[in-house]
Amino acid sequence: MKIMEASYDYVIIGAGSAGCTLANRLSADPEVKVFMIEAGGEDHSPWIHVPVGFVKTMVDPSVNWLFDTEPEPNLNNRQIPIPRGKVLGGSSSINGMIYVRGQARDYDVWAQLGNRGWSYNDVLPYFKRSETREGGGDEFHGEQGPLNVADVTEKAGILDFVIKSAEELGYERNPDYNGASQEGFGYYQLTQKHGRRFSAKAAYLKPARKRRNLRIQTKAQVTNLILENNRVTGVKYFAKGKYHTCVARKEVILCAGSIQTPQILELSGIGNPSILKKFGIQVYHELEGIGENLQDHYASRMNWHIKNAVSLNKYTRGLPLIMEALKYFVMSKGVLTLPAGILAGFIRSRPELESPDIQYHIAHASYKDPSKRVFDDFPGLTIAPCQLRPESRGSVHVKSPDPFIYPAIKQNFFSEEIDCLTHISGMRIARKLMNTNVMANYVEREVLPGDTCESDDELLDFARENGATLYHPVGTCKMGRDSMAVVDERLRVYGIKGLRIVDGSVMPMLTSGNTNAPIIMMAEKAADMINEDVLDSKH
C-alpha cells in the first residue's frame, strides 16, 4: 500500500559528505522545508568516533555498503572491495579523516573544461567557509566554518626521519600542503576534534538537527524518482517494510554518492537507453554519460621492517594496547587518534611536470595480512604510492531493475599505460626514500614487494596483485558541456527540471588527493547556487 507523504521544498537523497552540508545550509532559512532520506542509520557505533575504528567500520555491514568491483581485467581479475558509508555522515563517517583539498590547477582545469565558477579562485572561499582550522585561519584557511581541521598530535620519530630522508633527496618539507603549494612532505591535516572523528554529520547535521523545518528519515532507501513532464516531482523510497512517496515542490537533490546516484537515475529511466533496455527499464530521458567516467585512486602498499624506532605495530596487542586505550578514554590522546595515513608526500614523478602527480600515504605501521588487518610482529613502516590524476576510466551501471541489487562497478584500473608507468615511478621513488643515508640506521629490510622484485614488470605485477582503491570513486555523472556531461555548471541535470546532483559523481576530473574536503566544498557552493536560482525564478 502506498502512503502519500507530506510535501517539502527540497528532498535530499543521501546524508553523506554532500547531503549533510546541504541539509544544514538549505534549512538555515526557516521558511524552507527540507526532507533528507538516508538508507543507513544513526552513527551510534563507537568505532565511528574513535579514529582508529576505521579499521573496523571498513568491513562492518551495519555502517558500510561493502560493494565490490566486477573482476578487474588488469588486476588479475581480482574483485576490489569498495567500502561506502551507509550511516548518517555517509563515507565521511567511515573514512580515513585525511583533509586534502587538491591542487589549484585541478579546479582551473574544471573551469577550462567550460564549468564556469569552478576555478580555484572561485572555490577557495567555499573551502574557507567550510573550515575551522585549529591554530587559526589565514589566506588559505578558514577559522569559523563547521568542519574542524586538526593536526596529527602523535607525531613519530621515525616519520620525522622520513621527512629528513625526503630532504636528503631534494624534496621540500611542506607544513601546509593545503596552502600555497601542495608539493613536498609533511604531516596530514585531519577532520577531527578533541581526538574524535569529525564527520559531515558532526560538522553540519548535528547543529541543524533541532531545526523544525528539517526532517531526517534514516533507514529509508530511495528506489526511484517520480517524474512528470520532464520534471522531478518527488521521490519513492522503502522504509519500515513499505514503499512511501514524498513530494518535492522546488527540487530533488541527489547526494547518494558516485556509486548510487547513477544507479537511482538509471532505475528512474534516465540514462543510456541501450543499458536501460537491457534490464527492462523504461527509458524516460536519454543521457548517455550517466554511470560513465568513473575515476579513482589506486594504491599499492609497500612495507619495511624498521629498527631503532618504535612503530604502531607494538600498540595493536597486549598491555601496550590497553595502556593506549586508557590514555584515549582519559585524555582523548594517543595512537587511537591516528588516521589512515599519517605522513603525506606529494611529488612529481618526472622533474619536467608542472605539479605533483604522486601522493604517498605513509604510516609507521605494517600489516602481515591487509585483508584481515593483522599487524606484523616486528616494527614496520608502510608507504602507499598512488597516482594523483589517473587516466583509466571505468563505469557504474545497474545490473537489474531491482533497486536492492548492487550495481556493476568496473574501475578498469591500469587500463592506460601512463597509469602503470606513474605507479611504477611512485614505487621506485618510495624505495629511494628508504635507501638514504638518513634511513640507513632505521631500515632493516624491505618486506613488500621485497628485494627480488626488481624490474618494471615485477613491480607492476606486485601492484596488480596487491593494490587496492584509496576509496575515492568520482565522476559518474560529470559536470560539463560535452555530450557525456550529465549536469551543467550549476549541477542541474540536463533535460530534467527540478533535479540537481551534488556529490562526488559530478566531479569532471578527480582532484589531486582525498575527496572529502572537495565534496564538502562543492556542497557549500551548491547551496549558494540553489538559493540564487530560487531568487532568480521569483523575479
**Site residues for ligand FAD per CB under 6 A:** 13-19, 37-40, 58, 83-86, 90-92, 94-98, 100, 221-222, 255-257, 260, 264, 340, 471-472, 503-504, 514-517, 519
CB of residue 38 to ligand FAD, shortest distance in Å: 5
Cα distance between residue 281 and residue 235, in whole Å: 17
- Provide the 3-class DSSP secondary structure of residue 278: helix
Q: Are strands 270-271 and 285-286 parallel, antiparallel or unpaired?
A: parallel
Task: For ligand FAD, give the closer residue by CB, 363 or 434.
Answer: 363
Task: For ligand FAD, give the closer residue by CB, 147 or 264.
Answer: 264
Backbone angles phi, psi at 336, to 5 degrees: -70, -10
For residue 351, give the amino acid letter. P
Cα distance between residue 207 and residue 14, in whole Å: 18
Q: Is 472 a catalytic residue?
A: yes
CB of residue 29 to ligand FAD, shortest distance in Å: 22
CB of residue 154 to ligand FAD, shortest distance in Å: 16
Task: For ligand FAD, give the closer residue by CB, 341 or 449.
Answer: 341
CB of residue 473 to ligand FAD, shortest distance in Å: 8
Q: Are 75 and 420 in contact (CB under 8 A)?
A: no
Task: For ligand FAD, give the closer residue by CB, 106 or 446.
Answer: 106
Q: Are 298 and 353 in contact (CB under 8 A)?
A: no
Residue 316 host element (H or E): none
Cα distance between residue 524 and residue 526, in whole Å: 6
CB of residue 100 to ligand FAD, shortest distance in Å: 6
Q: Which grid coordinates are listed for 251? A: 527540487
**Which are the contacts of 252, defined by CB distance < 8 A and separation ≥ 6?**
10, 11, 13, 225, 232, 234, 235, 498, 499, 500
Cα distance between residue 472 and residue 411, in whole Å: 11
Cα distance between residue 207 and residue 198, in whole Å: 13
Task: For ligand FAD, give the closer residue by CB, 92 or 425.
Answer: 92
Reading phi first (left if > 0) and then psi (alpha if -120 to 50, else beta), residue 343 is in beta
Instruction: Choose the catalytic residue: 49, 285, 472, 539.
Output: 472
CB of residue 58 to ligand FAD, shortest distance in Å: 5
Q: Which grid coordinates are listed for 212? A: 523544525
What radius of gyration do the chain's Cα atoms show?
A: 23
Residue with the shortest CB distance to ligand FAD = 16
Cα distance between residue 472 and residue 84, in whole Å: 10
Q: Are strands 395-397 and 231-239 parallel, antiparallel or unpaired?
A: unpaired
For residue 58, give the amino acid letter. M
Residue whose C-alpha is closest to residue 13's, from 259, 262, 255? 255
CB of residue 291 to ligand FAD, shortest distance in Å: 14
Task: For ligand FAD, give the closer residue by CB, 344 or 463.
Answer: 344
* DSSP 8-state symbol, 407: P
3-state SS record for 102-156 = CCHHHHHHHHHCCCCCCCHHHHHHHHHHHEEECCCCCCCCCECCCEEEEECCCCC
Task: For ligand FAD, give the closer residue by CB, 190 or 302.
Answer: 190
Q: How far from the centroid of its chain's Cα atoms is residue 189's Cα?
A: 15
CB of residue 445 to ligand FAD, shortest distance in Å: 29
Reading phi first (left if > 0) and then psi (alpha if -120 to 50, else beta), residue 450 is in left
Task: For ligand FAD, give the closer residue by CB, 90 or 146.
Answer: 90
Q: Which grid coordinates are listed for 349? A: 614523478
Task: For ligand FAD, give the closer residue by CB, 32 or 265.
Answer: 265
CB of residue 197 to ligand FAD, shortest distance in Å: 10
Residues tagged active-site: 472
